[in-house]
């Protein structure tokens, strides 16, 4: 049932417009706006979701996969693990990256997804714990148990994070990462190695490409360490 004085569009009828000329004039001005809003509604919705996607997260998503090839089980069955954050600049973001990722709280969501499976979240960590977790996973994959012990006879893998920074310049994300490793036993350092690398990726507004940039080199550098070869350099027990 249509109410008296209104047509199907919800606007005042011609009779009421004549009775109230001010109101009629206002409705005539609003009519094109209403029509344009309805016409461009899909575009408005797209812009809304794009802006929502641009909202800064409190974490950076890091994808990591264990090496596909599992080495032969070494003679070492137990190991101590130590990770030290020794970065000169403790801020993982440059000034320009910080402006973009303004809500970042220094935490990382670790995704460990075997190929062909969904993205299982391994956990959310600070940087030091992130390194501890992935190296622990690598050792466990080899059948080596990580123990909390002070015994110098048990080999100790020491990992020192030297730099880890994400930068945004020239419309590109730039990421640099480096770490050192030492294998210690009986209070002696037997092997030292250094790993570093950098990568870049074009920044696409609305995309989660900061985490993709970090992930692009993080796994490669972690898996570059040949733990089995490292342990073979230990002197016989």
pLDDT tens-digit map of 172-181: 999 999 999 9
State the pLDDT at residue 68. 86
User: What is the average per-residue pLDDT within 142-161?
Assistant: 96
Q: Where in the chain is the domain with CATH 3.30.160.150?
A: 58-232
- Cβ partners under 8 Å of residue 196, min gap 6: 162, 163, 176, 177, 178, 179, 221
Give tens-digit pLDDT for 174-200: 999 999 999 999 999 999 999 999 999
User: What is the average per-residue pLDDT within 121-128?
Assistant: 94
End-to-end, the C-alpha distance of the chain in Å comes to 94
Percent above pLDDT 90 for the chain: 62
Within 10 angstroms of residue 52's Cβ, the number of other Cβ atoms is 9
CATH architecture group of domain 58-232: 2-Layer Sandwich (3.30)
How high does pLDDT run on average in the chain? 82
| Long-range pairs for 142-147: beta carbons < 8 A, 24 or more residues apart | 142/70, 142/71, 142/73, 142/74, 142/227, 142/228, 143/73, 143/77, 144/74, 144/76, 144/77, 144/78, 144/79, 144/227, 145/77, 145/78, 145/79, 146/78, 146/79, 146/80, 146/81, 147/78, 147/79, 147/80
Q: If pLDDT is split at 50, 70 and 90, which confidence band does 19 have?
A: very low
Q: Who has greater pLDDT, 212 or 119? A: 212
State the pLDDT at residue 85. 97
Q: Which of 117, 235, 218, 134 is nearest to 183 (CA)?
A: 235
Is residue 12's pLDDT more than 60?
no
Q: If pLDDT is split at 50, 70 and 90, which confidence band does 114 have?
A: low
Give tens-digit pLDDT for 23-76: 555 555 555 544 554 454 444 333 433 444 445 799 999 999 999 887 777 889
Within 10 angstroms of residue 20's Cβ, the number of other Cβ atoms is 13
In angstroms, the CA 205 to CA 51 distance is: 9
Q: Which of 215, 223, 220, 225 is nearest to 111 (CA)?
A: 215
What are the start-end ranges of the E strands in the chain?
59-63, 78-85, 107-111, 121-125, 145-146, 156-169, 172-185, 188-202
Cβ(93)–Cβ(166) below 8 Å: yes
State the pLDDT at residue 22. 53
State the pLDDT at residue 99. 94
Q: Who has greater pLDDT, 71 or 22? A: 71
Is residue 2's pLDDT more than 70?
no
User: What is the average per-residue pLDDT within 124-141?
Assistant: 96
Q: Which of 170, 181, 219, 178 is nearest to 198 (CA)?
A: 178
The half-sphere exposure of 175 on its side-chain side, counting CA atoms within 13 A, is 22
Within 10 angstroms of residue 84's Cβ, the number of other Cβ atoms is 14
Q: If pLDDT is split at 50, 70 and 90, which confidence band does 115 have?
A: low
State the pLDDT at residue 119. 61
In angstroms, the CA 140 to CA 78 distance is: 10
Percent above pLDDT 70 for the chain: 73
Give tens-digit pLDDT for 215-224: 999 999 999 9
């Amino acid at each position: 049932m249509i109410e008296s004085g209104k047509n199907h569009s919800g606007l005042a009828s011609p009779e009421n417009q004549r009775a109230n000329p001010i109101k009629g004039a206002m409705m005539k001005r609003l009519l094109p706006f209403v029509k344009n809003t309805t016409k461009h509604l899909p575009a408005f919705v797209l812009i809304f979701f794009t802006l929502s996607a641009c909202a800064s997260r409190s974490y950076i998503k890091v994808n990591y996969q264990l090496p596909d090839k599992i080495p032969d089980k070494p003679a070492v069955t137990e190991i101590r693990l130590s990770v030290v954050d020794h970065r000169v600049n403790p801020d993982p973001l440059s000034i320009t990256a910080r402006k973009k990722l303004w809500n970042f709280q220094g935490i990382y969501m670790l995704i460990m997804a075997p190929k062909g499976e969904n993205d299982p979240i391994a956990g959310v960590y600070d940087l030091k714990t992130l390194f501890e977790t992935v190296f622990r996973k690598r050792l466990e994959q080899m059948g080596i148990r990580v123990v909390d012990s002070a015994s110098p006879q048990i080999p100790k893998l020491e990992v020192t994070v030297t730099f880890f920074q994400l930068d945004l310049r020239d419309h590109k994300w730039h990421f640099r990462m480096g770490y050192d490793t030492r294998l210690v036993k009986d209070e002696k350092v037997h092997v030292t190695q250094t790993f570093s690398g950098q990568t870049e990726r074009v920044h696409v507004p609305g995309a989660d490409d900061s985490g993709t940039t970090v992930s692009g080199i993080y796994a490669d550098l972690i898996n570059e360490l040949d733990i089995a070869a490292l342990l073979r350099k230990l002197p016989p027990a």
